[in-house]
């Protein structure tokens, strides 16, 4: 990211993005002008907003052949490819007797995610491990891409982080509906079972609060990841642009450990929160009735242990 610094902290467009738009920008721009722009104008009209092209471009960016394919779309597509390539390289030839350093690194990451899923969701949560691990690897590589020349972090743009947040939101609700059914899944938003009078007065309020808190989760996930990665990029760009070319080569070496730490922490936060959301709607099959009974039991009341007589 340091090689794209301008005065004022702006961005140069990566060469690969310019190359793609040079060859594909014109037809994609024509499609956007004929279909995408009128669709957004119709939506803005329905919402009572200013539907002029200038206002829509202020929200979504300028429509032009040079920006028809946004940089963050190209970078995220590259991140998806790199995720597959990196795992394939690290995996190498799997060997139990003589594992390679790449295999050991991959196994360490796998065990870390497995332990997290086991601790948060439970042993039955291993079936969700592929999705959670995919989130972790993809977001980590996306965060780290900005540390390399000719790349930028796609997670430094809010469109990418919102898409990831929406994907997490859809998946954990899918898990809840698949395991519990739509009625029971919505029922967990109503809170504990209350006496009839309190149920009439309090339960609808609890349901609305829980429903709202669930609906804003994609936004909170996306903003948290975007804000931290964007701030990291902007700080690095501003510092690297102070006294070029010296700060473009010396400062990055000093800031590299901090940038790496931020990338790892933000990957952990997003993955952990997604795992927690899954744990709220998923439970072991044999705990169905037990969990339901315990949820209905008043606070402080415990099931009496059966008395066993020993001869």
Q: Give the pLDDT confidence score for residue 310 in this predicted structure.
A: 38
Q: Give the pLDDT confidence score for residue 163 in this predicted structure.
A: 95
Q: How confident is the model at residue 308 (pLDDT cuts 50, 70, 90)?
A: very low
Q: How confident is the model at residue 177 (pLDDT cuts 50, 70, 90)?
A: very high
Query: Distances in Å between the alpha carbon of 56 and those of 37, 41, 52, 156, 190?
Result: 8, 8, 6, 21, 39
Render pLDDT for 189-232 as a digit per residue (tens, 0 to 9). 887 777 878 778 888 888 899 999 999 999 999 999 999 998 88
| Omega cis (within 30) before 245 | yes
* Over residues 93-97, mean pLDDT: 76
CB 76 within 8 A of CB 82: no
Q: How confident is the model at residue 4 (pLDDT cuts 50, 70, 90)?
A: very low
Rounded CA separation 48/220 (Å): 26
Q: Give the pLDDT confidence score for residue 286 in this predicted structure.
A: 62
pLDDT greater at residue 284 or residue 31: 31
Q: How confident is the model at residue 305 (pLDDT cuts 50, 70, 90)?
A: very low
Render pLDDT for 288-303 as a digit per residue (tens, 0 to 9). 444 444 444 544 444 4
Find the farthest-apart pair of alpha carbons in the chain and give their distance in angstroms, rounded. Answer: 88
Q: Give the pLDDT confidence score for residue 72 in this predicted structure.
A: 93
* Over residues 96-124, mean pLDDT: 87
| 311 pLDDT above the threshold of 60 | no
For the residues of 69-107, what is the DSSP string, one character each?
S-HHHHHHHHHHHHHHHHHHHHH-S--SSS--HHHHHHH
Rounded CA separation 137/73 (Å): 18
In sequence order, what are the residues at sequence separation of 6 or more whose Cβ sits closer than 8 angstroms to the Cβ of residue 139? 155, 164, 225, 266, 267, 270, 271
Q: Provide the mean pLDDT of the chain.
A: 83
| 136 pLDDT above the threshold of 60 | yes
Tell me which residue has tokens 């940038």.
Answer: 259
pLDDT greater at residue 152 or residue 90: 152
| 62 pLDDT above the threshold of 80 | yes
Render pLDDT for 242-279 as a digit per residue (tens, 0 to 9). 777 666 677 677 778 888 999 999 999 999 999 999 99
């Amino acid at each position: 990211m340091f090689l794209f610094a301008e005065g004022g902290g702006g961005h140069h467009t990566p060469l690969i993005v310019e190359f793609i738009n040079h060859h594909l920008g014109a037809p994609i721009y024509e499609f956007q002008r004929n279909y995408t722009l009128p669709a957004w104008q119709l939506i803005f009209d329905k919402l009572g907003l200013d539907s002029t092209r200038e206002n829509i471009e202020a929200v979504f960016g300028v429509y032009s052949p040079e920006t028809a394919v946004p940089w963050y779309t190209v970078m995220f597509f590259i991140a998806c490819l790199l995720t597959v390539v990196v795992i394939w390289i690290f995996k190498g030839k799997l060997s139990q007797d003589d594992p390679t350093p790449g295999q050991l690194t991959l196994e360490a990451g796998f065990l870390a995610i497995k332990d997290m899923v086991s601790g948060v969701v439970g042993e039955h949560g291993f079936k969700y491990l592929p999705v959670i691990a995919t989130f972790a690897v993809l977001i980590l590589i996306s965060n780290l891409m900005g540390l390399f020349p000719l790349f930028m972090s796609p997670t430094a743009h809010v469109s990418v982080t919102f898409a990831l947040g929406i994907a997490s939101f859809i998946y954990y609700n899918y898990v809840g509906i698949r395991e519990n059914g739509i009625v029971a899944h919505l029922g967990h938003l109503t809170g504990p079972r209350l006496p009839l009078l309190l149920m009439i007065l309090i339960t609808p309020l609890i349901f609305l609060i829980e429903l709202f808190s669930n609906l804003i989760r994609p936004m909170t996930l996306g903003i948290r990841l975007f804000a931290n990665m964007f701030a990291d990029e902007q700080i690095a760009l501003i510092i690297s642009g102070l006294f070029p070319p010296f700060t473009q080569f010396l400062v990055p070496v000093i800031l590299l450990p901090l940038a790496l730490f931020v990338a790892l922490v933000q990957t952990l936060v997003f993955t952990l929160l997604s795992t927690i959301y899954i744990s709220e709607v998923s439970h072991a099959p044999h705990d169905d009735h037990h969990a339901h009974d315990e949820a209905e039991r008043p606070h402080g009341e415990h099931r009496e242990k059966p008395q066993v007589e020993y001869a």
